[in-house]
Amino acid sequence: MCFPLRINEGGKLSQISFAYSTMSNSTELLRGHKVIVIGGSSGIGRSVAAAALAHGASVVIASSSSDKVKSAVTWLQQESKGATVEGQALDIKDYPALKLFLDQHGPFNHLVITAGDIAGDVNFPHTEIDDSWKTRYDVRYWAVMVAAQHVYKNNLIKLGGSIVLTIGNVHYRPYPGWGLVSGLAGVLESSTRGLAIDLKPIRVNTICAGVTDTEFFSSFPPEARASLFKSQQEKLPVGHVGTPDEVAEAYIFAMKCTYLTGQIITVDGGGVLA
């Protein structure tokens, strides 16, 4: 082990000593914490909720579908015996309802937002920009900003806590026709750094996920889904499409690491390199 040196008053080098604490058990760092997961009824969000429960946290999930919320709560309770899991249907575009939801469940330690979908026709600039695109921005950007401002102004996140957001990696290497999508990811990435400054000491970080095998792709024609996954497996350095559980590990790290803020954690199997 190397220790830094300093020059003392006599012009001689001396070793700087540090007081090291005993190594902590990282699996205990979320024990007793309360984690809110908006978008937690499926996909990456549900895996984040399950991972948080496995680390000893209590969890509240929310999404727009009450049926999905009920199903996810049942599944999470079965997977994590004795864990505290709650669920609530929430339209994140309804800002008064969003604020009320946060008030009802606060104070908490961590707010995770994975909610969002994508417009079906990603063929910019040929497809007209309609209200469906505005809705996507309402969900993925404005709702995030409203939630972040509200938890800060009302002290809803406990000291040492965090906000963890979600984007895709398309803004690094945009696909043809995905100009609007890449713009949305980019604006949330830059806002992550701004929020980390404006909301301090609340930590704000964003997980940038690559292609992940979630329910999102169930809307694709089977041939298109199979073709996409095959091409990803062939080009990704890791050799496989990501799973929600793999990506969820990054959220757990972002919540646990109290020296992390304003950062984008890319979890894409090396997609930006391929």
CATH number for 182 = 3.40.50.720
Is residue 211 one of the residues assigned to a domain?
A: yes
pLDDT of residue 45: 98
One-letter amino acid at 200 equals K
- CA torsion sign for 121, 126, 132, 133 is positive
Euclidean distance between CA atoms 30 and 46, whole angstroms:
17
Is residue 200 one of the residues assigned to a domain?
A: yes
Is residue 13 one of the residues assigned to a domain?
A: no
pTM (2 d.p.): 0.87
Q: How many domains does the chain have?
A: 1
pLDDT band (50, 70, 90) for residue 20: very low
- Determine the average pLDDT of the residues in 68-93: 95
pLDDT band (50, 70, 90) for residue 6: very low
> Can you give the C-alpha Rg of the chain in angstroms?
21
Is residue 129 one of the residues assigned to a domain?
A: yes
Is residue 232 one of the residues assigned to a domain?
A: yes
| 96 prior amide bond cis, ω within 30 | no
- Answer yes or no: is pLDDT of 19 > 50: no
Euclidean distance between CA atoms 74 and 191, whole angstroms:
35
Is residue 272 one of the residues assigned to a domain?
A: no
| pLDDT cut 70: percent of the chain above it | 89
Highest mean pLDDT among 8-12, 91-95, 185-189: 91-95
Euclidean distance between CA atoms 250 and 266, whole angstroms:
9
- Determine the average pLDDT of the residues in 20-25: 55
What is the tens place of the pLDDT at every residue in 176-226? 777 778 888 889 999 999 999 999 999 999 999 999 998 877 777 888 889
pLDDT band (50, 70, 90) for residue 16: very low
pLDDT of residue 17: 46
| Kind and range of the H or E run holding 15 | strand 13-15
- Answer yes or no: is pLDDT of 15 > 70: no
How many other CB atoms are there within 10 angstroms of residue 247's CB atom? 26
- Answer yes or no: is pLDDT of 59 > 90: yes
Least confident of 25-34, 129-138, 164-173: 129-138
Is residue 20 one of the residues assigned to a domain?
A: no
